[in-house]
């Protein structure tokens, strides 16, 4: 089931790395997040791995966001997500920063189950245990804050929301909300 996520991640990585020749990794992150906190249908914890790249010169007009690729894997075998997007960062103090991110996600979860009969046992199980996301493509919005332990290591908290917003899909849009912690290793500066 992870093949579509792997294919999308590989394509996004090829685009990010194949863009300007100077595209370099600026940060690696790992984290865990509480999964489906608003609806509470899906169980498990998300294990998150992320790579952020140096901002290419052509994004200077947009505040120099860093392109990112993220994989989010559910420990209960439910919805896994692969995301490519842009992350904006602002320093509040020498060690404390905030971040806002926006991206496009592909997931291997359930899009809908209303095409099944109301008394269908599969529909009943899916309605009770899975978020109906309405589309395999979702928007990814994230807000976070990080504290620099030193020039290399950072710890942080984040909130993220996955939804098609009636733009990338229509109908069911139960969305996913997650809150988590992360550890980052920053290269260079």
Q: pLDDT per residue over 138-185, tens digit each? A: 999 999 999 999 999 999 999 999 988 777 666 667 788 999 999 999
**pLDDT confidence of 59, banded at 50, 70, 90?**
very high
pLDDT of residue 188: 77
**pLDDT for 133 beyond 70:** yes
Hey, which residues does 32 pair with through a beta bridge?
47, 181
Could you tell me the residue ranges of all domains in the chain?
3-186
**What are the tokens at 173?**
């849009």
pLDDT of residue 171: 64
CB atoms within 10 A of CB 157: 14
pLDDT of residue 115: 72
| 100 or 116, which is more confident | 100
The proportion of the chain whose per-residue pLDDT surpasses 70, expressed as a percent, equals: 84
Question: Is 34 in contact with 45 (CB distance < 8 Å)?
Answer: yes
Distance CA 44, CA 1 (A): 17
**pLDDT for 38 beyond 70:** yes
Work out the mean pLDDT of the chain and round it to a whole number: 84
Question: Is 86 in contact with 102 (CB distance < 8 Å)?
Answer: yes
Fold classified for 3-186: Porin (2.40.160)
**pLDDT confidence of 189, banded at 50, 70, 90?**
low
Distance CA 101, CA 99 (A): 7
Global pTM value: 0.83
**Count of positions (residues) in the chain:** 189
């Amino acid at each position: 089931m992870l093949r579509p996520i792997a294919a999308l991640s590989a394509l996004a990585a090829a685009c990010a790395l194949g863009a300007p020749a100077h595209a370099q990794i600026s940060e690696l992150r790992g984290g865990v997040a509480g999964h489906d906190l608003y609806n509470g249908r899906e169980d498990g914890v998300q294990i998150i791995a992320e790579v952020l790249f140096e901002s290419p010169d052509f994004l200077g007009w947009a505040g120099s966001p860093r392109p990112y690729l993220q994989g989010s894997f559910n420990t209960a075998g439910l919805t896994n997500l692969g995301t490519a997007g842009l992350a904006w960062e602002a320093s509040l103090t020498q060690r404390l920063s905030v971040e806002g991110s926006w991206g496009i996600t592909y997931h291997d979860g359930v899009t809908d189950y209303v095409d099944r009969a109301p008394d269908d046992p599969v529909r009943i199980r899916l309605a009770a245990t899975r978020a109906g996301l309405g589309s395999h493509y979702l928007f990814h919005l994230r807000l976070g804050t990080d504290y620099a332990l030193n020039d290399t290591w950072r710890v942080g908290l984040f909130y993220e929301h996955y939804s098609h917003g009636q733009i990338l899909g229509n109908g069911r849009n139960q969305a996913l909300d997650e809150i988590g912690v992360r550890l980052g290793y920053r290269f260079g500066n």
